[in-house]
Chain A
Amino acid sequence: MSYKDIIRQLRLLPEYIRISFLQIAENKIQLFGAFFTTSINLVLYILFWGVITYQIPVLTGFGWVTWGQGELTFLIGMTEVAWGFGAFAWMGIWQIHWYITEIGIETFQIRPAGSIYQILATSLWAGGLIQVVVGGIMLSLSVLTFGLIVTPFSIILGVSALLIGQAALYLLWSCLCCLAFWIGKNEGILTISDALEYNFARMPIDIMPIGVQYFLLFVFPVIFISTVPTMIILNLIPLNFTLLYIGIASLLVIIWLIFLRIIWSRGLKHYQPVGG
């Protein structure tokens, strides 16, 4: 794929986003559903952490991070923002194996754009942005209520960490989903991803044993979904560690992009079209 092709494909992104919003406009009920579930989820998380912090007023980290009620509330908001953005931008990865085994990838392969790019772009779900908005409100409230200190610079760094970290995590899942070329349907892998994200992304990771932390940092980088961005935005870790985290996430993005390209191109040779 030439440089010109990459630029042309990036120029398509606003069009895909526009179509995603048009699709949502056709199904408005979905938006209300997303708003409702997000709000209920938030209340449940707040209750959950309320109970925890009632028992232990301050969770002390293994390192220098101390998680008080304010930080935890911020983390809940950040989790919603991260999940909302994930639902918006990365919904397509959950469909890769489905396209390979059931729908067929022909309609993507005949177009002059990368097939995985098209699958992701076609599956952009604007409804996820509702979750981002609700999470954003939660973040603002936690900052105002608990007097957390946030700077524009830390926000930029935190958002960068979030976006790069999500790319690292979801590219890994994309690689695993592409195994469908060889093993057929593999929803089980997606169940693991759900379990990991649900159980670890919304927890202050650094209260866990160091081995688990490394696992969630280098193997399944769930830590980048919300914990790292929260720590960066709230200035809970020094700048050099912030840059280290962003560096690790960027490295993982490059590694998984290379793997994804290799797996996809090899997998295509095993592709058996659906229905002939």
Chain B
Amino acid sequence: MYKKPLYRPRKGAARRFVGFLKREKQTIRALDDVTFAIHPGECVALLGPNGAGKSTTVKLLSGILHPTSGQVRLFGIDPYHNRIDCAMRYGVVFGQRTLLWTHVPVLESLKLYQKMYDIPKPVFNERLKEFAEILDIEQHLHNAPRRLSLGERMRCEIIAALLHQPEVIFLDEPTVGLDVVAKKRIRDFIRRVNHEENVTVLLCSHSMRDVEELSDRIILISRGHIRFDGPKRQLKRQWSNERKVKILYKRATTKGWKRQLQDLPGVINLEVNNGQITCRINQTQIPISVILQTAMALLEVDDIEVTEPNLEDIIRDIFGAENRSLNQTMEAH
């Protein structure tokens, strides 16, 4: 909970003067009734729109912030009051901030962290060599971060966060602003660390590709409340009844086939392009088998592909619906 100044235009010089002297403040609950537990080795994605409370959650878990009420436990202890003990056991990557000295070679920053975390020299050398090889940044370790590209710097940041063999790693937008190649490299690396070293990962990202590829469990957070907490598959089942169906055909056997398919209940939209039909269907209104049977009766079908909607569509639908209902409530008031 924190207080935020309100910048409200006031009429009249006297009121403006009073407003200048005493700014009105609004109490905001950044997080409210948020309860979850993460088990060792899990890779959990914390998703939500901007200002939902994701970063605040990470900052509470890493002991940067203190909750006004409630409890936060990391490794079974309070991370705020045992900050140094916890910090020895976790790693953090803030996509928007750097943990490295901007003007000195990356290696120098890492050497300092070696001493800070009491990493034995052989372990440090071995891990550094291994990580640098995997992330392909060996040649950049001798450059200052200010001379590196964003992707190169971010890979160095990830190494800095993982050198001390943390049990938990908090990733706050680790791939923001990166190109597809850099993103993939970082994702592969995180997956590897999660699987091979059993590092627990808490990922905050707006990149659904990151979430799709890395996490098994999703916590959806919005306006400080948890909207969903469960496996990725369950989110898809629970929030989306849509499926995307692609049908490749050689030729039509019946006239007016397109109209017939379009008129089936539950078909949301249907596009035809160069012998390929793409349509979205609502499973609660029509089983996939009916679509397929109808298509096979009307067309000479070559291939059929049914896909689940991607996470981005689902998340957009959930938060879009939430915004719409909030706007309606505000209008009603």
Contacts and interface: CB of A to CB of B under 8 A. Distances in A.
* A and B assemble together: yes
Contact of B97 (A8, A104, A271): A104
Interface of B: 2, 51, 55-56, 59, 62-66, 83-85, 87-88, 90, 92, 94, 96-99, 101, 103-105, 108-109, 111-112, 115-118, 144
Contacts of B99: 107, 110-111
A112 B116 contact: yes
A22 B104 CA distance: 6
A12 B118 CA distance: 10
B64 A23 contact: no
Contacts, number: 79
B66 A26 contact: no
A33 B173 CA distance: 40
Interface string A249-276: 0000000000000000000110111011
B116 A19 contact: no
Which range contains the number of A residues in contact with the other chain? 20 to 34
B112 A12 contact: yes
A276 B51 contact: yes
A54 to B, nearest CB: 46
A169 to B, nearest CB: 28
A275 B84 contact: no
A12 B64 contact: no
B64 A22 contact: no
B245 to A, nearest CB: 40
Nearest to B83: A109
Interface of A: 1, 5, 8, 11-12, 15-16, 18-19, 22-23, 26-27, 104-107, 109-113, 122, 268-269, 271-273, 275-276
Given A107-B99, A111-B99, A113-B84, 4 more contacts: A107-B98, A109-B63, A112-B88, A273-B65
12 contacts: A8-B115, A15-B112, A19-B108, A22-B108, A106-B92, A111-B116, A112-B85, A112-B88, A112-B117, A122-B101, A273-B65, A276-B51
A106 B88 contact: no
A11 B92 contact: no
Contacts of A22: 103-105, 108
A1 B56 contact: no
Contact of B112 (A16, A27, A112, A273): A16
Given A109-B64, A110-B62, A272 B97 contact: no
Contacts of B87: 109-112
